[in-house]
Structure 1
Amino acid sequence: MRMIAAVLMFVALPLAAAPQLDKLTLPKGFHIAVYSDQVPNARELAVGAKGTVFVGSNDADKVYALTDANGDGVAERVRVIASGLQLPVGVAFRNGDLYVSAVSRILVLRDIENHLDDPPAPEVVNGSFPTETHHGWKFIAFGPDGKLYVPIGAPCNVCDRGKAYAKITRMNADGSGLEDVAYGIRNSVGFDWQPGTDRLWFTSNGRDLMGDDMPSDTLNEVTRSGQHFGFPYCHQGDTLDPQFGQGKRCADYTPPALKLGPHVASLGMRFYTGKQFPAPYHGAAIIAEHGSWNRTKKSGYRVMTVRLKGSKVLSYEPLITGFMQDEKVWGRPADVQMLPDGSLLVSDDLAGAVYRVTYSAP
């Protein structure tokens, strides 16, 4: 019986598409390779002080640790360092500890890089977040202020739940001092702080069921605490919601810095602070677009570069395309994360892989 159960378990594994890197297109001089293809449902990425790559997951209950001991750009080992967690998408590393989001809880694995083979039990840092799983998984990151930023997505496609949802919060590393940062954010699954200004920028997913081309996902800048970015009353800075927009004005809310396109599912974003990529990429925001699920003609399924000068958007251009061919999808980018050498990791939860992007002058 045990043998039969094992066979059935093997057959029932998720049908991850194999990476098809030959189908990908990058600008001249850029190269992409598989860092690991053994990371089911790979989502948010974080890098430890010793170079360990930590990966959260969705549709799985595990957190992974990837190690490249010989420095050849390929992870030789993939360890499961936590399991049995609820949608542990978010991972953030600070002072030797790995913080993990699990819907209603923020957990921590202490001194994790010294215990990869015998990981500690996760400790609860804060267990007070909502229990809804609709937009309940969380991208998390530490800001320049040393606080952990945690989004709380709307528990719906579109609804008005006041200031309890649809916002970004922050707290101290020990879980205390939880406070709101910004409101009117349907669901942010990616944010970072701009080099030189330390201002928080974030991606946000637009609502569904307003047609193929409405509304757009957005890239946004927080310039003061307590800003309201419009949801559920105003979408993409200029379109009132058919139901919740009655009696409202878009002018009363903060517009986006950039419309990213309808239903592209903009997720992880980071500012490029390395030196390996050419100068035009320095300080640019790099965004993983997971791709549409409800559009007649698919959109997204790519990694994009947004060049900025302060708050001004200069350009919005592809870095990686080709995860979709003739409306058929084999990969869905979920997050991006720099390595110390300036190369860029990209997670792909459909292929269960993490890729490494490098640059060498042509």
Structure 2
Amino acid sequence: MVKYCRFALALVWVVVLMASLVSAAPSAYAQGTSFPRTVTDVLGRKVELKAQPKRLMLAEGFQIQTLGLLDKNPADLLVGWGGDLSALEPAIYATYLKAFPKLAEVPVVGAGTGDTFSLEKALAVSPDLAIFGAWQVPGGVQDPALQKFEAAGIPVVIIDFYRDPLKNTVESIRVLGEALGKEAAAKAYIDFYNSRMDRIRSRVAAGLPEKPTVLLHAYPGLWPCCWSAGSGGTGEFISLLGGRNIGADKFPTENGGQLNLEFVIDQDPDVYIATGLPQLKQKNTLSVGWGVDKAAARTSLAGVMEIPGIAELSAKDKGRAHGLWNFFNGSPLNILGIEALARWIQPTVFADLDPDAAMAEINRRFLAVPFEGTYWIDLKEPSRP
């Protein structure tokens, strides 16, 4: 899927301090007070920080949720941010604005996407650290935006929860923790994340009883069927869990692409998963996410399953039709989406996974603004043991 038509929703450890800094002041560094320091971002760039950043520019406004994992008052750090959160998740934006009214005064430097980002506005807010998603710097280490920030003496770190989430989710949290002097908070979330992922990986390694075909269908009802996940991005989650993504061979990137309806019907995937957003209220769209209750989410999924062609898929009658919040792709909360996918793709192996409990723990222990609503839904309510 293209950016913001992505599905929502990492275990590589990266050393982000120079060894000399660690050995020189280990106790101070562990408390996040040792600056200057050098961190290594997900592109392998070494970024020198002369002092603990106090003025952040978030090129992707959606990542305020990520900042909220590390700092309970993320708005206090911002001097500029992307406008994508207000445009694409207005309910989440409104909740953050209520919690942190000063966000209304933070200058918007673009809509979050590369073609709307204003370098001039970003430089004008004089950040002491700029944070970009890897998808926002298509030129990589040679991207012109990075070079202009560097020329202005403004350090930039690159994070990634979208292009290569299995590799970069943990790495990105670690990079942010080191860059912001929030190592303890970063470690706490990484430990939580790794404990959940380790359980999934160990069971996958022990062997899976089936390799079902899967269609991850982004935003059904908004355009002709069917925008599918590719092999990268969210498609990595399907592969990890032993699913055979019917769009993987056709779209070998994180962006995905359009599948022909006849192809989908011919493939008749064993598992059908729609993605959606809370504000989608049109006929045959999936309304799921912030502020949506389970009954409304299930009703909207039932409407999706009435779309001509989709209605004929055998997954509907087999109880293997589901709905998922779209923006687990591109978020360190992707562990919740992975657990939901695991239950759907390998129900006998992961029946005991409880993403609701995981979300409750994330809300209690980590997030500055707790998640509210329904983020995954089954067409048929699961039977209770």
Which entry has the higher C-alpha Rg, 1 or 2? 2
Higher helix content, 1 or 2: 2
TM normalised by structure 1 equals 0.29
TM normalised by structure 2 equals 0.28
